[in-house]
Structure 1
């Protein structure tokens, strides 16, 4: 059935390929490009671009000394538990989700690659509850809510009376800026957007004054409810129901003044050493995060890697104490076992989509410093089979075992039983992908979240047979301290 209005056209169809070809044809090219010599403060410039009104939605994504800024939607893909909706220039196509859940996303990128003059990128996020669609966990449709507080239920999202929300949201930017040392490249769908971005980049700018810190106590929320939930998970593990679950808790940030996410991002990045960082406003979510690891890194040609981090100790200003804690971490049977379980599952998941014999552990049990904590870290790599692509790798690895547990389906069920409500973006991924076959997905941890009128932090700990509730609660506090001291607020007008 097709319904037309004077401003838009909505199509509901079961034919993926035809609908996505029509959508791709509506997505405008970005033929307007320029390169600029850039000697200023790249981070200040990137934040300035997204706060200047360049375009909405936006994603700022930092990786490997590059800052990517994407703004404005030339095309949009949104997936719920039942449908994929593709939008571009007033047209909207709604497709049923059948078979492999992310197959329509692969088809959308393939359709886009056939009509775009060059490689086209997309940016977005996957909510943690996409896991239930990928793994069939829990026996019910996923729903997204805003945490009501430290524990005890959740509040349905405003404007979503069904309780269901988008599980995946990606947009093809109208303007994209990549800042590398000494240079900025800009591509846009129109000369106006190109000129606007170039003008903002070349205008004199200073880093935003972040304002005074308004630290949050990492122990806020409901500590006793969390300890009780940890004890229940330990009981399930000892009863043989699962091996590991990453149980999380929330810390609300509601107060007299709203959190300033761009200023918090600048302050937090100065104090953290993330694998990736991001600042976004997309699909009803706003977030500033300092991701400690990647869910998947795929490059054209088929190489794919994942970077599980599991096993944690605090990181302080005292080198001697850090050395002692590092040695303790490497010698702790619980932490080593937790890490080994995560690496084993990552190998198994990659093995399902990679060529036989290509999966290997390239790095095992290195120690990585991430802000207020140090982690055991490994890297698992493989080469995709000829009949598999980057979105297949993402589907196999998502959600990260280090934010879920093992076995994954049983861990997801435990999280539904014992956490304070759906996670939403926490434990999900911020994603950049392109039509050439690249995909980079950062695990969403160490992040400030805003949805509607509520703002919060969230952190978890890996629960094993030998865990204790007090230690796991303290681990969540250690992780929260990567962000909690750096919260900045805007004065109310």
Structure 2
């Protein structure tokens, strides 16, 4: 059997169930599952990896590890590291944490020396599902049979039962932190900041099952499921931080302005009408789009930057947002990693201006964000890239499991309403958490 097998399997009516079953089987080691429009990819059993923390670059290839100090920007370090590996036309998959932004925004003083910044891996096996059927690359004949059996069995399985989490407890003092940020904004220190709160879960989570149940109840722009470097996560991303396609068109999708969704047609329409007429939400969205446009223009060829779908309303699970799309054609002397470095972190997950907003996040959010408000990343051998914003997610490591959500704070913010917004966003994940 060839290393690539392409079959049209009519029984794959639930790709999320198939991806969840492949992840839960435990047969393929570490993995990253990524859903983009029209395609689901399960990438597993790393041949190699690139890991970056504050002081060290670690590169692994076929069991051999090299470590070195690094300097410069994290984006350029990873770009160069990937270029030295014998990828043989393979894609890379992984994640970058929120703290990845600290070098570009002069915030490294806030970081612990062992803070993880990024973890990318190059898979031996890829399983892709889409209208083309099932495409399997890199698997042995025996593994190919196992993959077929797992996918077939997944289509007959029932949805898992949730163990909903209480999202209204707040030991982090979120309202008080919002009040402090409002004071800083009104004193002129910055215009906007996204402050978040962590909700610890008092049990071990079945992350693949949570992904399947959550995906059945969400309408994400992208979704992901991963187990990589001691971290498990599953999420339903509302927007792209950045994408660069094969034609070098760079895109970002700022979402800012939020109301609840999924409470019935009349309530949803009333919330939508309130959203599109609320001065606070309109201002928050407009300044986010303005920042995104400036960032795209900084890496795009002159005259190619444009905004489309300005202030459209997009439903994302338990919430609806004001949304716009900003695009430009990447300048000839710029790379995909340059575009990501410019656009990261998403303006809708950091603040405006970004430098001051990120400083406020580090000061007022307290603990490191890690993957929250970071990105799950795919990189092709040609330089095409997608970096999807990590929000609406569940996270788990050896220390426990948790959720996290934030809200955009501006001068007109009301702390109680911002807390309510975090609850609305947590509603995209919390009701679907499955206990292990």
Report the TM range for the smaller structure's normalisation. over 0.9
- When the two structures are superposed, what TM-score results if normalisation uses the length of structure 1? 0.84
1:237-288 Cα offsets, whole Å, 9 max, x none, are 0111111000000111113xx2211111111111110001111101221011
- Cα pair 1:292 1:370 within 8 Å, conserved: yes
Task: Give the aligned partner of residue 66 of structure 2.
Answer: 93
Task: Give the aligned partner of residue 249 of structure 1.
Answer: 197
Deviation at 1:291, TM superposition (A): 0.6
Give the alignment of 1:54-69 within 5 angstroms.
Answer: 54-69=27-42
- Quick one: which of 304, 307, 311 aligns to 1:361? 307
3-state DSSP of counterpart to 1:102: helix
1:185-232 Cα offsets, whole Å, 9 max, x none, are 1111x6357535554456544454444322122212337x11100000
The CA distance in 1 between the partners of 2:214 and 2:154, in whole Å, is: 20
The CA distance in 2 between the partners of 1:434 and 1:474, in whole Å, is: 40
The CA distance in 1 between the partners of 2:417 and 2:143, in whole Å, is: 52
Give the alignment of 1:149-188 within 5 angstroms.
Answer: 164-181=114-131, 183-188=133-138
Task: Give the aligned partner of residue 329 of structure 1.
Answer: 275
Give the alignment of 1:243-322 within 5 angstroms.
Answer: 243-255=191-203, 258-322=204-268
3-state DSSP of counterpart to 1:134: coil
Deviation at 1:110, TM superposition (A): 3.5
The CA distance in 1 between the partners of 2:259 and 2:242, in whole Å, is: 24
1:460 aligns with 2:425: no
3-state DSSP of counterpart to 2:59: strand
1:133 aligns with 2:103: yes
Task: Give the aligned partner of residue 34 of structure 1.
Answer: 5
When residues 196 and 219 of structure 1 are mapped into structure 2, their CA distance, relative to the original with a 3 A threshold, is: same
3-state DSSP of counterpart to 1:46: helix
When residues 204 and 139 of structure 1 are mapped into structure 2, their CA distance, relative to the original with a 3 A threshold, is: closer
When residues 124 and 196 of structure 1 are mapped into structure 2, their CA distance, relative to the original with a 3 A threshold, is: farther
Q: C-alpha root-mean-square deviation of aligned residues, in Å? A: 1.8
1:96-117 Cα offsets, whole Å, 9 max, x none, are 32223321322234344xx555
3-state DSSP of counterpart to 2:373: coil
1:221 aligns with 2:221: no
The CA distance in 1 between the partners of 2:338 and 2:146, in whole Å, is: 34
When residues 198 and 55 of structure 1 are mapped into structure 2, their CA distance, relative to the original with a 3 A threshold, is: closer
The CA distance in 2 between the partners of 1:219 and 1:82, in whole Å, is: 38
1:407-426 Cα offsets, whole Å, 9 max, x none, are 11111111122113111110
Superposed structure 1 runs of 4+ greater than 6 Å apart: none
Q: Which runs of 5+ in 2 are unaligned?
A: none
Task: Give the aligned partner of residue 46 of structure 1.
Answer: 19
3-state DSSP of counterpart to 2:116: coil
Deviation at 1:350, TM superposition (A): 1.4
When residues 80 and 206 of structure 1 are mapped into structure 2, their CA distance, relative to the original with a 3 A threshold, is: same
The CA distance in 1 between the partners of 2:389 and 2:246, in whole Å, is: 21
Deviates more, 1:371-380 or 1:429-438: 429-438
- Cα pair 2:52 2:118 within 8 Å, conserved: yes
- Cα pair 2:48 2:63 within 8 Å, conserved: no
- Cα pair 1:109 1:435 within 8 Å, conserved: no
- When the two structures are superposed, what TM-score results if normalisation uses the length of structure 2? 0.95
Q: Which runs of 5+ in 1 are unaligned?
A: 1-30, 144-162
- Cα pair 2:34 2:225 within 8 Å, conserved: yes
The CA distance in 2 between the partners of 1:131 and 1:409, in whole Å, is: 10
Rg larger in structure: 1
1:79 aligns with 2:52: yes
Task: Give the aligned partner of residue 161 of structure 2.
Answer: 212
Deviation at 1:485, TM superposition (A): 1.0
Give the alignment of 1:422-461 within 5 angstroms.
Answer: 422-461=368-407
1:123 aligns with 2:93: yes
The CA distance in 1 between the partners of 2:23 and 2:151, in whole Å, is: 15
Deviates more, 1:194-203 or 1:258-267: 194-203
When residues 124 and 116 of structure 1 are mapped into structure 2, their CA distance, relative to the original with a 3 A threshold, is: closer
